Amino acid sequence: MSKNKEDLDMLPEGAKQEQEPQTGFVDRLWNIFSSMKLGLFLLLVIAITSIAGTIIPQKRMPQDYGSLYPLYSALGLTDMYASWWFVTLLFLLAMNLFICSFNRMTPLWNLFAKPKAKVSEGYLTRLDHHLTHQSTKNQEGLCQQVKEDWQGRGYRVVEEKLDGKVFLHGDKGRYGIWGSFITHVSLLVILFGAVLGIYFGTEGRIAAEVGRTFSLHEVYELTPDEDFKVRVDDFKTIYRDDGSVDAWVSTLTVIDEGQEVLTEEIRVNHPLNYKGYKFYQSFYGSYIPLRVASPGSPEGVEVTVTERDFVPVPGTNLGVWVAQYIPDFDPNLGWVSKSPDPNNPRIIYVLYRGNQQIGIGAATIGEPEILVGGEGAVTFLDYKPYTGLSVRKDPGVGIVWLGCGLMILGLSLSFYVPHRRIWAIIEEKDGKGHFTMGGHAQKNKIAFVKEFEDIATPYARKAEGSGTS
């Protein structure tokens, strides 16, 4: 069913009006990208693929993916957010948001700045809330009464006169019509900030033991544009009373041009920030230098391992699995440290013959452990904990925060500033004023019912879909 021009003026805020069929390629492409269904589909696909990107570790070494690395690499899943197909999805979504926003801008502006009062009487009587009224006043007196009443209730009133009729339009909460538009723009801003971070940001990881000073160029996969250094002053694990880990804390000092310029403690989600680079507490571990020996290799072999590494004993079928460092070992507590302080540090190890576990021990650091009556020996020479840092510089962060602010503004306008509209057609019949009034609200309709009844009270006892007086 076609709509007349007056009815088209009453379309919901920012809605796309009916257009003549367009057959050109650009027009068809424009119409495809202006589809809300396309936008929802793209959002769904991006959400699903983002779940995959969250589950599959990103930017790791090939060995971290095991036998699945060739498949993940071919699909771009090892660095998914920078893969061509993910960036293409973001581009298509950005195009959809831009075209949808562009299409809505002119109707919204006309509705905001230049609302039209002229509508058809048929349209008003089809609204959910309307009434007709025969006044004792003449047309001019009734028109003045209605205008003053609406303005007294906070409505902006626009008046048009045509063919002996007076058309009135009143609206309130017109800033609310920009809510969805601003929300769409905020998504565009967030996308732009995210893409900026992907292509112009940099991120790397480094494991540094206490006392080490490293430059940004030593951070794995980081491509820095600054040349300052960072020293790890301290790294500690804070335990709760029940022995569980409460937090990992690193103390870092920034050294720029030979001067110590900043010292801060960092924790998970509490990074150090200097010149746009953020240092996050990301992981932790330890370096454990040890020597394994056997009768066939009395000098032994020295290697440096980390917890969970396995070391074969040379010349035997024995192997030592380095299990865990215990700072305050108590035989009654097993693998749980008695306290966080290194009062009785031990290294828990498991001894294997071939694939069979044959023993477990708690070795004192610096003292040799004799294995299976002298078939071998292992000496844990030291324990050097390191802090694992993620170093990141993202020029798009500020833009993403701007987008988030716009989104909050847009959603607030949409939910808390509902746009309400009322119209009236006033004409002279038999020397008396006669008018038809209707109202419409897209949101918070329950409150609008009460408001419309209050507005209609001076003219009718009851205002409803078929109400008259």
Mean pLDDT of the chain: 86
Contact 349, 320 (CB under 8 A): yes
Q: pLDDT digits over 263-294, tens only? A: 999 998 899 999 999 999 988 888 899 999 99
The C-alpha atoms of residue 143 and residue 159 are separated, in whole angstroms, by 10
What is the helix (H) or strand (E) element at residue 358, kind and residue range? strand 356-364
pLDDT at 464: 46
C-alpha atoms less than 13 angstroms from C-alpha of 229 in its C-beta half-sphere: 14
Segment 172-197 mean pLDDT? 91
Segment 52-58 mean pLDDT? 84
Residues 6+ apart with CB under 8 A from 220: 204, 205, 206
Q: Which two tokens stand for residue 452?
A: 């419309």
Residue 467 has pLDDT above 60, yes or no: no
Counting every residue written for the chain, the total comes to 469
229: three-class secondary structure by DSSP: strand
Q: Which two tokens stand for residue 334?
A: 């097993």
The C-alpha atoms of residue 297 and residue 316 are separated, in whole angstroms, by 10
Residues 6+ apart with CB under 8 A from 96: 33, 34, 35, 38, 39, 42
pLDDT at 432: 80
pLDDT at 156: 94
C-alpha atoms less than 13 angstroms from C-alpha of 429 in its C-beta half-sphere: 10
Closest CA to 158 of 417, 419, 424, 420: 424
The C-alpha atoms of residue 291 and residue 301 are separated, in whole angstroms, by 5
Buried b (16+ CB within 10 A) or exposed e, 424-453: bbbbeeeeebbbbbbbbbbbbeeebbebbb
Contact 408, 414 (CB under 8 A): no
Q: pLDDT digits over 199-242, tens only? A: 889 989 999 988 999 999 999 889 998 889 999 999 888 877 76
- Cα 44 to chain centroid distance, Å, stands at 15
The C-alpha atoms of residue 143 and residue 426 are separated, in whole angstroms, by 7
DSSP-assigned beta bridge partners for residue 132: 436
Question: By CB neighbour count within 10 A (0-12 exposed, 13-18 middle, 19+ buried), where does 388 fall?
Answer: middle
In the chain, domain spans: 25-113, 132-173+433-461, 286-385
> Phi and psi of 339, rounded to 5°?
-155, 165
